[in-house]
Structure 1
Amino acid sequence: MKYGLNLLLWTTEVTPEHAPLLADIKRWGYDGAELPLFSGDEATGKRLGRMCDDAGLQRTGVTVCTPEVNPISDDPAARRAAVDHFRSILDCCAAAGIETLCGPLHSPLGQFTGKPRTDVEWGRAVEAIAAAGEHAADVGVTIAVEAINRFECYFLNSQMEVADFAAAVDRPAVGCMYDTFHANIEEKDPAAAIRHAAPHLRHVHISENDRSTPGEGQVRWDETFGALKEIGYDGWLVIEAFGLALPELAAATMIWRRMFSSEEALATNGLEFMKRRTA
């Protein structure tokens, strides 16, 4: 198992000023850092790769869609822009030495039609992610598509659905991820969802029901870790938590109060929790 920490706890863009933070993440005992990649190119990737190498960290990446780069849009230009965006981010990942790019690549966050997804939208997303998956294979990166709860998107909400989506895309470099925060909202049976996702599972986010320190809330951890052990999962476990460090990100993630004593306490306590549960 490999243990990572998502840098969205501190920033939406990793810059040279975050070098001491990367060193801290290594000192706390993590194997890798998960880097937010909302834009980027090969030059950006090389810089990020050097920073992580200097800290002795492996890395994964996370990205999102916006209305301008929307795989399910009615506008063909937005759909083409989405594929171009994914290719650029994947090139950045390859240059950075990022092995897995995760996130809700299927649709923009917070954009709703007031209706469930349509078959047309499903087909558009499959086509776009398949194209991205072919480029991912060319550059040696794996895509792990994320389901997001009903309050943040309407396209893929359950872990069952995202596994079926990965199967429909049917590209070797495309799989799905499991996020315990979203599963806590959407899944009646987390273990069944993990077992269903097993053939396509490429990444796991460890996130508490209140987005703070894993192990201190209401997520069904016994079932979650039991199912991951049952299917033989041995990839990344990455803590994704959010705080008040960035007002804009705090607002986007609906964090209105401080829920942990310090980022270091969250990181170290969360890592100890993951290692204890996977021992």
Structure 2
Amino acid sequence: MKYGFNMLLWSAHVTQEHAPILKALKRGGYDAVEIPIFEGSPDHYARLGELLDKIGLERSTVSVMVQGKHPLSADSATRKSALEWAKWVVDCNSALGAPILGGPMHSELGLFTGAGPTAAERKRGISFHRALGDHAGKKNVKLSLEALNRFETYFLNTMAQLADYLDEVDHPHIKAMYDTFHANIEEKDPAAAVKTIRRHLIHVHISENDRGTPGKGHIPLDKAYKALRAVKYDGHMTIEAFGRALPALAAATRVWRDFFPNRDEVWKKGIINMKQGWANAK
């Protein structure tokens, strides 16, 4: 098991200036960090990868389909633009030296049609992911698609929906993520949903019900750890927590108040929760 932390708690664009934070996470017992990719260039991420190598941190990445990049759109130009964006994210991911790109890379974040997904949208999504998977394969990258709660997307909300969709995509470089925050909202039994997605699972987000410090909310993380052990998961478990430091991200994630006294509490207590929880889940 590898323990990771998502850098979105500090920045949507990680640079050399974040070296002190990265070093602190390494000293604190983390094996990896998750780097957001929303801007920059492959060269930037290559240099950042060199820094992470020196510190001794493995890495994954996270991104979304930003405004105007909707792969399910009926408009061919919009779909083309979405694929170009996603390929650019994969290229940056590869330059960073990260084997996994996570996030809801399946539909424009926050876009709603007023109805559920259609058969035509599903067909467009499958075509998009097969093309993107081919590109990711050339870059030695695997996508870990994230099902989001129904307040953030209408396309993929549950582990069952995601598993069925990935069965149909049927691409070795298009896989799945399990996120405790979204599962807490959408699943009848959040822990049992791990078994539903196990055949595609390559990445995990540990996130509290309020996006704060793991173990200080009401999500039964102990059950999640047991479920992950039961399916013999052995990838990264990455804490994803959000605060108000980044106004744009706070607005996107609906963070209107502080969920923790300081950011140090999140990563210091978070790793204790994960390591003790994993050990007790035997």
TM-score by length of 1: 0.97
Residue 158 of structure 1: aligned partner: 158
Residues 38-66 of structure 1 show CA distances to partners (whole Å, capped at 9, x for unaligned) of: 23432122122112122211110001002
Alpha-carbon distance between aligned partners in 1 of 2:86 and 2:111, rounded to the nearest angstrom: 19
Alpha-carbon distance between aligned partners in 1 of 2:91 and 2:247, rounded to the nearest angstrom: 30
Does structure 1 retain, via aligned residues, the 8 Å contact 2:205–2:237?
A: yes
Q: Quick one: which amino acid aligns to residue 38 of structure 2?
A: F
Structure 1 residues not aligned, in runs of 5+? none
Alpha-carbon distance between aligned partners in 2 of 1:220 and 1:155, rounded to the nearest angstrom: 26
How far 1:237 sits from its partner (Å)?
0.2
Q: Quick one: which amino acid aligns to residue 92 of structure 1?
A: C
Residue 275 of structure 1: aligned partner: 275
Q: Tell me which moved more, 207-216 or 74-83.
A: 74-83
Does structure 2 retain, via aligned residues, the 8 Å contact 1:204–1:236?
A: yes
Alpha-carbon distance between aligned partners in 2 of 1:131 and 1:67, rounded to the nearest angstrom: 21
User: Any residues of structure 2 matched to 1:231-246 within 5 Å, and which?
Assistant: 231-246=231-246
Residue 44 of structure 1: aligned partner: 44
Alpha-carbon distance between aligned partners in 2 of 1:175 and 1:189, rounded to the nearest angstrom: 21
Does structure 1 retain, via aligned residues, the 8 Å contact 2:65–2:86?
A: no
Task: Name the SS of the counterpart of 1:150 in structure 2.
Answer: coil
How far 1:101 sits from its partner (Å)?
0.2
Alpha-carbon distance between aligned partners in 2 of 1:78 and 1:274, rounded to the nearest angstrom: 41
How far 1:220 sits from its partner (Å)?
2.4
Does structure 2 retain, via aligned residues, the 8 Å contact 1:41–1:89?
A: no
User: Any residues of structure 2 matched to 1:118-267 within 5 Å, and which?
Assistant: 118-267=118-267
Alpha-carbon distance between aligned partners in 2 of 1:77 and 1:48, rounded to the nearest angstrom: 33
Q: Quick one: which amino acid aligns to residue 9 of structure 1?
A: L
Residue 94 of structure 2: aligned partner: 94
2:63 paired with 1:63: yes
Task: Name the SS of the counterpart of 1:190 in structure 2.
Answer: coil
Task: Name the SS of the counterpart of 1:48 in structure 2.
Answer: helix
Alpha-carbon distance between aligned partners in 1 of 2:40 and 2:46, rounded to the nearest angstrom: 10
Residue 80 of structure 1: aligned partner: 80
Q: How many residues align?
A: 279
Task: Name the SS of the counterpart of 1:144 in structure 2.
Answer: strand
Does structure 2 retain, via aligned residues, the 8 Å contact 1:243–1:250?
A: yes
TM-score by length of 2: 0.96
Q: Quick one: which amino acid aligns to residue 241 of structure 1?
A: A
Runs of 4+ residues over 3 Å off in structure 1: none
Does structure 2 retain, via aligned residues, the 8 Å contact 1:206–1:240?
A: yes
Residues 124-159 of structure 1 show CA distances to partners (whole Å, capped at 9, x for unaligned) of: 111111111111111111110000101111111112
Residues 217-259 of structure 1 show CA distances to partners (whole Å, capped at 9, x for unaligned) of: 1112232111111100010100000011112211221111112
How far 1:166 sits from its partner (Å)?
1.6
Task: Name the SS of the counterpart of 2:191 in structure 1.
Answer: helix
Q: Quick one: which amino acid aligns to residue 86 of structure 2?
A: F
